[in-house]
Structure 1
Amino acid sequence: MSAPTAPSPTAAGSGRNATERFAEKQRSTAQVDHARVSAIATNAITALHEVIREHRVTYAEYDALKAWLIRVGEDGEWPLFLDVWVEHVVEEVANADRKGAVGTIEGPYYIPGSPEFRSEGTLPMRDGEAGTPFVFQGTVTDLEGNPLDDARVELWHADDDGFYSQFAPGIPEWNLRGTILTGPDGRFAFTTVKPAPYQIPTDGSCGALIAAAGWHAWRPAHLHLKVSAPGKQLVTTQLYFAGGQHVEDDVAQAVKPELVLRPTPAASGTGEEVTYDFALDPA
C-alpha cells in the first residue's frame, strides 16, 4: 500500500491560514476614538463615491464588486489584499520620522517564536532545500553606531516555490524561519538559501482581481526581518536583490532603494553572501 500523498499547497489555502493567524492576534483594549473613526471612515467612503462618479460605475460593475468582496472573505484573503495593496502606505506614514534602519511592509506570513540562536545560526530547512546557499550577516547598532547587545534579529522567507512554512501543507513547521540574539559586538550571521521571486496567490479572489485588471502578480525575491533591542524601536522590513526580477515593479509596491542588497560570492566558495547593518532608533 502506497504512502498517502501530502496535499499540495494552494494560494487560497495560504490565504485562509493567514486570516486564521491574524484572528489569533491580541486585540487592543484601548477606548475607541469615535471622532477619529468617523473622520477616517467618512473620508474613505467619500473617496469611493468620487471614484464611482469619475468612472460612471454601472450597476453591473457594482454587483460584480459586491460579489468579489464576498469572495475575498470566503477565500480568507483580506489579509493578503490589504498587505499587498494597502499596507505600504500605512508603513510609510507610521515610520515617516524614523532616522535609522528603513522599514517596509510585514506581509501576512510572520510567526513569532522561531528557533533562537546566539550570534549565528543556520535556518531550519529540509534536506536538499532548493536555492543557492546564502549567508546574511551584519551588525545591529544604535544611531551613533554603538553595537547593541541582546538585539533580536528575526528572519523568515518563502521557499523556492513561493510558499511559507505554517501557511502551506507539507512544509516543516519552522522551515526557513529563525531568530538570532546578538552578543556585545552586535553581530549576527544567518546561513540559509537565497529566495526566489514568486507570484502572490492567484487561485483565489486576489488573483481574480489581478486577472480582471491585467496586472502581474509577482513579488521580487525577498527576506523578511524584524529587528529589535531593549530601549529601541522595532523595525520591520524586507530586503531585495539588485538586478532581480520585479524589483522595479513589485506588485506590493514595497521596494525602497535602501532595501536592495548586492550579494557577492561567499568567502567559503559556496553560494553568496551579503552584509547589511541595522541602526535602531530610540524607543
Structure 2
Amino acid sequence: MVTIKEYIAPKTIEEAYELLIARKNNLILGGCGFIKIGSRNINTAIDLCNLSLDYIVENEEEILIGADTTLRQLEINNIIKNHCGGAISQGVSYIVGVQFRNMARVGASVFSRYGFSDLLPSLLVLDAKVRLYKGGVMDLKDFLEKKYEKDILLEVILPKKDGIAVYDCLRKSSGDLPIINGAMFKGNNCEYVIAIGSRPQRAKLAEKSMEALEYGASIDKVADMVVDELHFGTNMRGSREYREEMCKVLIKRMHDKVGGYHDR
C-alpha cells in the first residue's frame, strides 16, 4: 500500500528541489507506473507537471528530451523514430500497452535505473547524456554507475550520430518484463556500441567486446566475450545460464540487423 501525505506541483525547478531535499521520504512523481509494486509512505509527492519539461526538440548537434515526456511520445515522435533507425521508439513499444506508455515518463524511467528498462539499452548505445539540476550534464553510462543522490533529472541529451541502431529483447509474452534485452549501434565508420540489460541488473556497455568487434573478431567470439565481460544473474524470469545463452543469440541477431555478418 502506498500512502501520500501531501501532493505539491511546484512552479519552479528550484522550489521542486527544495521540497525534494526537505525530508528523506519526499519523492518526485513520474508516471507512477511502478509505484504500487512496493509498500511505502511518502510525505510529500512532488509533481513536475508545471515545469515545462514535456518536449522533444532538435538542433544542429543534439536531440533534447524533457524529463516529463511520456514513453508514448518517444514511440511516435518522428524525430525519435528517424534517429539512427528508430531503436529508441522500437524499444519502448514493447512496454506493457499504450495506456501505460501514455503515463510513464522518461525522467522516471531513466532516473530510477530499472534493471528491466527497455529504454536504457538504446540510450546507452546512442551515447546519451543526462542533465541533472544539481549534478549538471554527465554521460548516461556514468550516471548509471553513480551512487544514488537526491537530484532532479531535467532532460536526456542525444548527440546526433551517423549510423544505425537496433533494439532486441526476449520476453515470455507481449507486455511482460524482458528476460534479457539489448541494443547495438553500428556507425558509418564501422564502429560498434553494444549494451545489454535485464541481466537482471541494469543495462551496461560491453566495452571490451565491442572493441574486439571493431578490430575484426567474429561475432561468435564477440558473443562469448560479452557473456564473460558482463555479470548475469538469476531471478523469477530466468536463470543465469539461460540469460547467458540468450545473450549470445541477441548479439548475433542484432549484428545481422545492423548489417553485419557472422560465421555460419
TM over 0.5: no
Using CA pairs under 8 Å that are at least 6 residues apart, name the structure with larger relative contact order, 1 or 2. Answer: 1
User: Of Structure 1 and Structure 2, which has the larger fraction of its residues in helix?
Assistant: 2
- What TM-score, normalized to structure 1? 0.27
- What TM-score, normalized to structure 2? 0.29
Structure with higher Rg: it is 1
